[in-house]
């Protein structure tokens, strides 16, 4: 029989707040973390908006240590420290403690910055810390070093599904008996001219430069693309018996996960893969569609992506759940998006309140879902599903139930 897995620790740093409490409060209030990019480098770009961290990691981390880390690694460590403290710093054998931190681009900022230095100033000016800063496994490695985790440090790299896949992998590690405690989630920081220009050229990014806070509008007829964001969210997962033995506080139960691939197109979503991911998550949780009362949608605010997901939800689960899309406030955090979405779904189950979808002023008539807008809704869901889908055809769905 598969082991029950509970969530005992939460950590986050997002465009809405430097911790879980401030992020959750802002989500419930419908606040936006999207702002204009004022730097000189953005003046010639077609997109000049982004969702930046509300609290800089330099305000939390040791200055010398931070200089040796990419921004993605920094924010993963910030979130990990909060999650570990929130879990009560469980005493666990190092070999029974694992880390799984997903990311989409890893140390892209360091790679691009050091390449600029190489081109302009020569090899002697390149940092000796370049490789540890740019490698995608850096966030997981730094968190494992911080916590002394010797049960494995893993890095799913599956675009915007990375953070959710990391949590699904953490569930598997515990259920397979390979760990008692896993710190899992995602981190991303790639607000830079090159990614922004690339997404703009692909017509994937919103161009509402004159209205940053209204730019991300999932499920709205006026949606024109996502807004690039940065952040991290990590959960402490524990084997239920292990958590009970130490009388740990439990936020929620991670009841199931489903991971699929489309094998269809490098960027276009496919309904079949999304439906299968949701159905696998439900089966793993031992639940049926009617048991799900709330869904945190991936919903990036792209014209086609939101429509495909809405149809997938209707097919896999139905139109009865209360749905929200918090990227309307946080922007799209790519590799961290699935982890931040999981955090929001989990807190909705724990607190009995679903945050609104901001900027939903003219709902798409082709989307037949009960989408929360205008303000938070008291829903008291006993079970929630969180979706994360990524370029490459990666699909991950997670199910949380009340403790």
Measured CA to CA, the distance from residue 383 to residue 397 in angstroms comes to: 13
Q: Which amino acids are annotated catalytic? A: 160, 298, 332
CA 392 to chain centre: 17
Q: What is the pLDDT of residues 237-265, one digit of tens each?
A: 999 999 999 999 999 999 999 999 999 99
CATH superfamily of 1-394: Thiolase/Chalcone synthase (3.40.47.10)
Look at the pTM and tell me if it is higher than 0.95: yes
The neighbour count for residue 397, using CB atoms within 10 Å, is 35
List all residues 6 or more positions away from 154 whose beta carbon is below 8 Å from its beta carbon: 98, 99, 100, 101, 140, 166, 169
Token readout for 236 is 């402490």
Residue bearing the bigger pLDDT, 292 or 64: 292
The neighbour count for residue 222, using CB atoms within 10 Å, is 16
pLDDT beyond 80 at 1: no
Domain range summary for the chain, segments of one domain joined by +: 1-394
Residue written as tokens 């077609």?
A: 46
Measured CA to CA, the distance from residue 403 to residue 399 in angstroms comes to: 13
pLDDT beyond 60 at 117: yes
* Of 7, 128, 70, the residue nearest 335 (C-alpha): 70
pLDDT beyond 80 at 368: yes
Give pLDDT, residue 198.
97
pLDDT above 70 as % of the chain: 100
Pairing of strands 394-401, 383-390: antiparallel
For residues 298-327, give the mean pLDDT.
Answer: 98
List all residues 6 or more positions away from 397 whose beta carbon is below 8 Å from its beta carbon: 164, 257, 258, 259, 277, 278, 280, 281, 385, 386, 387, 388
Give pLDDT, residue 173.
98
Give pLDDT, residue 119.
96
pLDDT beyond 90 at 2: no
């Amino acid at each position: 029989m598969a082991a029950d897995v509970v969530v005992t620790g939460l950590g986050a740093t997002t465009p809405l707040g430097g911790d879980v409490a401030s992020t959750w409060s802002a989500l419930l209030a419908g606040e936006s973390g999207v702002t204009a990019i004022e730097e000189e480098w953005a003046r010639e770009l077609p997109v000049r908006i982004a969702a930046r961290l509300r609290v800089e990691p330099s305000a939390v981390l040791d200055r010398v240590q931070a200089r040796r880390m990419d921004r993605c690694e920094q924010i993963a460590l910030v979130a990990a420290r909060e999650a570990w403290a929130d879990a009560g710093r469980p005493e666990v054998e190092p070999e029974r403690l694992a880390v799984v931190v997903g990311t989409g681009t890893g140390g892209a900022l360091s790679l691009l910055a050091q390449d600029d230095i190489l081109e302009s100033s020569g090899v002697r000016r390149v940092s000796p810390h370049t490789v540890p800063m740019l490698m995608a496994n850096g966030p997981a490695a730094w968190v494992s070093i911080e916590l002394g985790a010797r049960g494995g440090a893993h890095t799913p790299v599956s675009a915007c599904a990375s953070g959710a896949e990391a949590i699904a992998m953490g569930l598997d590690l515990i259920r397979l008996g390979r760990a008692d405690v896993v710190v899992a989630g995602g981190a991303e920081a790639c607000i830079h001219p090159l990614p922004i220009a690339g997404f703009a050229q692909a017509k994937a990014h919103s161009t509402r430069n004159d209205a940053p806070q209204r730019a991300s509008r999932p499920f709205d007829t006026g949606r024109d693309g996502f807004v690039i964001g940065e952040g991290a969210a990590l959960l402490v997962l524990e084997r239920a018996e292990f958590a009970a033995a130490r009388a740990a506080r439990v936020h929620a139960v991670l009841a199931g996960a489903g991971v699929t691939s489309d094998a269809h197109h490098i960027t276009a979503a496919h309904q079949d893969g999304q439906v299968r991911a949701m159905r696998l998550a439900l089966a793993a949780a031992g639940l049926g569609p009617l048991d799900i009362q709330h869904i945190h949608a991936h919903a990036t605010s792209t014209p086609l992506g939101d429509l495909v997901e809405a149809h997938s939800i209707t097919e896999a689960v139905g139109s009865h759940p209360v749905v929200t899309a918090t990227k309307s406030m946080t922007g799209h955090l790519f590799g961290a998006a699935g982890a931040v979405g999981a955090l929001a779904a989990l807190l909705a189950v724990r607190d009995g309140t679903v945050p609104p979808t901001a900027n939903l002023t003219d709902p798409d008539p082709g989307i037949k879902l009960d989408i929360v807008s205008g303000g938070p809704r008291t829903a008291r869901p006993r079970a929630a599903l969180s979706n994360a889908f990524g370029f490459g055809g990666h699909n991950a769905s997670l199910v949380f139930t009340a403790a």
